[in-house]
Chains A and B, each alone.
Chain A
Amino acid sequence: MIEPLSLAADPVFGLPLAELWFGLLFFILGTFLFLDGFDFGVGALFATREDDAEREQLIAAIGPFWDGNEVWLVVFGGALFAAFPSVYAALFSRHYLLMFAILGALILRGLAPEMYEQRHDETWQRWWGRSFVAGSLAAPFLLGVFVANWVLGASGTLTIPGIVVGLAVVALTVVDGAAFLRLKTRGDLRADLRRDSLYALAGYLLLVVAALGTIYATVPAVRTALLSPVALALVGLTLVLAAVYALATVRDRYYVAFAAAAGMVFALVAVVARLTYPYVDRAAGTTVSEAIVSTLPLNLMSVGAAVLLPLIFVYFAVLYSTFSGEIEPEESY
């Protein structure tokens, strides 16, 4: 039995819990962007496929995974609410219309592939296919806009840096999705995806440069953080990972390319975290230590997360190992 009183006084094990939760929050965001990112990427690549059997394979590839992947966003919302309640309230209400646009895109993305599989007539599948693509492009774009606005402290809905970051996130999800699909498919489709992977990577690198330039030019408040050794090292890491991704893609090392894509996602999210710190809500001028929830609930949440996160990794290990390897053609629903 845990004594509530002892938990109310000091952080458990004397850990810097406010910073840890700040880090955890971005780790959860990164995991979401990596996992649901490949679902979004598959949705975007869906637009490039005309053949029915190939389209079925794309949907089958993400079928068992996407719902679990999306739960990382739910956990992100919950963790932000639990650890930084006032930031959760201020941030979500400040970006009111943007939040609902994100939710709308996620609803469309979640529903469309389920609907696509329901009927096999042409008009039905054409429209649900288009909805799938639209939702899969809009969701990461709007999430990118939201994260940029959050980090840079913008209060408008559509800002120039927000749009550039949004586009970069879309490109990154395609990089991620193409690498995932190369693991899951065979034959011509797999060969074609090599080209898609490389185009998406080139697009992502260009957009990252554009985003960094735009942010440097338009948001003086983050210039110092942008030129900090950590941020520069992460940008360098992204370039190395991009080279690994390109090489692995050309040489058909599917797992290496997928891992490099994951690395790029986490590098981007780490840059974002670095630009934010020590604030957790730059627009309101709220720092991590000001916004952190009081000690008792913080300790309880920390114990909960320490127990549950390893379990969650076990669940995902079971799920991904059950459906590892290429999809069998007859498995397409």
Chain B
Amino acid sequence: MFDPVIASRLQFALTTIVHIIFPVMSMGLAPFLVYFTWKEIRSGEPIYEQLRRFWTKIFAISFVVGTVTGIVLEFEFGTNFAAFSTVAGELFGGPLALEGMMAFMLEATFLGVFVFGRDRVGDKLYFVSAVAVGLGTWLSAVWILIANSWMQTPQGFELVEKGGREIVTLTDPMAAYLNPRFPYMFVHMQNAAVLSVALFMAGLGAYFVFRHHVWEYPIENVDFWETTLKIALIALVITAPLQAIHGDLYARHVYETQPQKFAAMEAVWETDSYVPEYIVAFPTSLADLADPKAKEIFGIGIPGGASWLASGGDPQATIVGLNEYGEAPPVAIVFWSFRLMVALGFWFILLGFWGVYRWWRGELLEDDLLHKSLMLSTLLGIVAVELGWIVTEVGRQPWVIQGVLKTTDGVSPGLTGAEATTTLLGFALVYLGLLALYTYVVVRIIRGGPPTGEELRVVEREGPSAEGVAGDD
């Protein structure tokens, strides 16, 4: 039997870690789908119809699973974190309601048209539905990240006594909603989603190209997979470097606004200047792994690197150590997750340039090592997103609202250990099944491949003004 606080935290962690996979897929796929739909309508080339229809299937199943797992999160604020919801509801409830009304509604209604309506609506409305779905997924992120970023850098409010308790009262909505963290979080998350989907597409493309050319397993739709690979590489070579450049700015911003989190990311216990940045850190003992300390860890460090990163160019800058704060977050989780995420980020940049270079040289289909690397990296974008969120959310502990409310004080007061443990175990089971089913369906869609030949809509067009195309006669 778990303590209700621990069980609630584990349950929220589990349900968000699983849920985020699906929005990453749908937000990342959105710009690609808008592009494919546009090209399909404008050029009438079957390849774009294949791309649009194949990736829409993956989008649709991700959206469905994202919906059902997303409602869980919305309810959990009330069920498990009632004290938090009471204290922060005035500021936190609004963005959630607006997310539902502004974004989710747009997305879910036009998704029906986008998935099922190709033969029922004209080209224009069909394209509008693609844009509406894409816009909906991104607007959703705006409101959710406004809510989350406010908890990291809260402002625009006052604490007012109400019913024997200090309640967050909104005073300046612009300051609260456009808090300093929001733009960093939004850019980092959206770019990460596109990057993750680019890696997913590139990995699949590479697999089928490899199967066809190296294993000489004739693949019927090898052109489709080659195009997928190329489009993915373009997206990768744009988003991967952007993520690193932006990540550098983001880290500096964290140092300025949440110095305690930054110290945990670097495992700095004692206040120091000229702190090195460990590019590569090896745990030489179990103790290093479980309890990393910047001073003791064995690794390759850039002298003054962490100070330089924090201050924006000054290797002498002082970093306040964790010992100065009352309670530290679980440093090991934050330290290693951050390192792994950054390492993956550099690996993605390498992959992007490597692939584009081979393509430029006309050798894209011949580099087996590149294909294998891309295949191995298919899911690593999503892994990096998970690691990044772990740094963000574990790194702010013990606070649920930085400097205002501790996580332990946010849990529902009446919740019993038995109830919380029951639902935690229930979720562990159900979500394991859910992930297995999602994987199963996605693998089936991939095995089935894109629609071909007679399955495609008739491609002949009578003229540029022809609305839609005769479907199934």
Binding site for B on A (CB under 8 A): 4, 8, 63-65, 67-68, 70-71, 73-75, 77-83, 85-86, 88-94, 96-97, 99-100, 103-104, 106-107, 110-111, 114-115, 118-119, 293-294, 296-297, 300-301, 304-305, 308-309, 312, 315-316, 318-319, 322-323, 330-331
Using known A-B contacts A4-B173, A67-B64, A111-B64, determine if residue A293 contacts B412 with beta carbons closer than 8 Å.
no
The reply to whether B412 and A93 contact each other, CB–CB distance below 8 Å, is yes
The reply to whether B412 and A97 contact each other, CB–CB distance below 8 Å, is no
Q: Looking at the complex, which of B66-74, B193-201, B270-278 is the stretch in contact with chain A? A: B66-74
The reply to whether A293 and B120 contact each other, CB–CB distance below 8 Å, is no
Asked if B99 lies at the interface with its beta carbon under 8 angstroms from chain A, I say yes
- CB neighbours (8 Å) of A82 from chain B are 89, 93-94, 96-98
CB of B247 to closest CB in A, whole Å: 31
The one of A70, A89, A309 in contact with B89, judged by C-beta atoms closer than 8 angstroms, is A89
Using known A-B contacts A297-B91, A297-B94, determine if residue A99 contacts B79 with beta carbons closer than 8 Å.
yes
- CB neighbours (8 Å) of B94 from chain A are 82, 297, 300-301, 304
- CB neighbours (8 Å) of B441 from chain A are 114-115, 118
The one of B67, B78, B110, B426 in contact with A319, judged by C-beta atoms closer than 8 angstroms, is B110
Residue of B nearest to A2 (CB): B173
Residue of B nearest to A317 (CB): B109
The reply to whether B64 and A304 contact each other, CB–CB distance below 8 Å, is no
For the complex of A and B, list the 5 residue pairs with the smallest distance between their C-beta atoms, beginning with the closest.
Answer: A85-B89, A92-B78, A64-B112, A78-B97, A81-B93
Cα A293 to Cα B115 in complex, Å, equals 39
The reply to whether A111 and B472 contact each other, CB–CB distance below 8 Å, is no
CB of A314 to closest CB in B, whole Å: 9
CB of B2 to closest CB in A, whole Å: 14
Asked if B430 lies at the interface with its beta carbon under 8 angstroms from chain A, I say yes
Q: Sample 22 A-B pairs with CB under 8 A, ordered by A number.
A: A63-B112, A64-B116, A67-B108, A68-B111, A70-B67, A71-B67, A73-B71, A78-B98, A79-B97, A81-B74, A82-B93, A86-B89, A97-B422, A103-B71, A110-B64, A111-B437, A297-B170, A308-B102, A318-B109, A318-B110, A319-B112, A322-B125
The reply to whether A77 and B75 contact each other, CB–CB distance below 8 Å, is yes
Cα A97 to Cα B416 in complex, Å, equals 11
Residue of B nearest to A63 (CB): B116
Cα A297 to Cα B69 in complex, Å, equals 28
- CB neighbours (8 Å) of B79 from chain A are 92-93, 96, 99-100
Cα A92 to Cα B110 in complex, Å, equals 30
- CB neighbours (8 Å) of B121 from chain A are 322
18 additional A-B residue pairs with CB within 8 Å, beyond A297-B90, A323-B112 = A4-B171, A82-B94, A86-B85, A89-B78, A96-B415, A100-B426, A103-B72, A104-B430, A106-B71, A107-B72, A110-B64, A111-B64, A111-B437, A301-B94, A301-B98, A315-B105, A315-B110, A322-B121
The reply to whether A106 and B100 contact each other, CB–CB distance below 8 Å, is no
Cα A256 to Cα B135 in complex, Å, equals 36
- CB neighbours (8 Å) of B83 from chain A are 89
Cα A78 to Cα B144 in complex, Å, equals 12
Cα A80 to Cα B98 in complex, Å, equals 12
Binding site for A on B (CB under 8 A): 61, 63-65, 67-72, 74-75, 77-80, 82-83, 85-86, 88-94, 96-102, 104-106, 108-113, 115-117, 120-121, 125, 132, 163, 169-174, 412-415, 419, 422-423, 426, 430, 434, 437, 441, 444, 472
Using known A-B contacts A82-B94, A85-B86, A301-B94, determine if residue A115 contacts B100 with beta carbons closer than 8 Å.
no
Cα A100 to Cα B109 in complex, Å, equals 26
The reply to whether A319 and B109 contact each other, CB–CB distance below 8 Å, is yes
> Which of B89, B171, B172 has the most chain A CB atoms inside 10 A of its CB?
B89
The reply to whether B71 and A85 contact each other, CB–CB distance below 8 Å, is no
Cα A80 to Cα B169 in complex, Å, equals 17
The reply to whether B82 and A92 contact each other, CB–CB distance below 8 Å, is yes
Cα A318 to Cα B79 in complex, Å, equals 35
Cα A24 to Cα B216 in complex, Å, equals 63
The reply to whether A71 and B108 contact each other, CB–CB distance below 8 Å, is yes
The one of A79, A90, A103 in contact with B82, judged by C-beta atoms closer than 8 angstroms, is A90
- CB neighbours (8 Å) of A71 from chain B are 67, 100, 104-105, 108-109
The reply to whether B414 and A94 contact each other, CB–CB distance below 8 Å, is yes
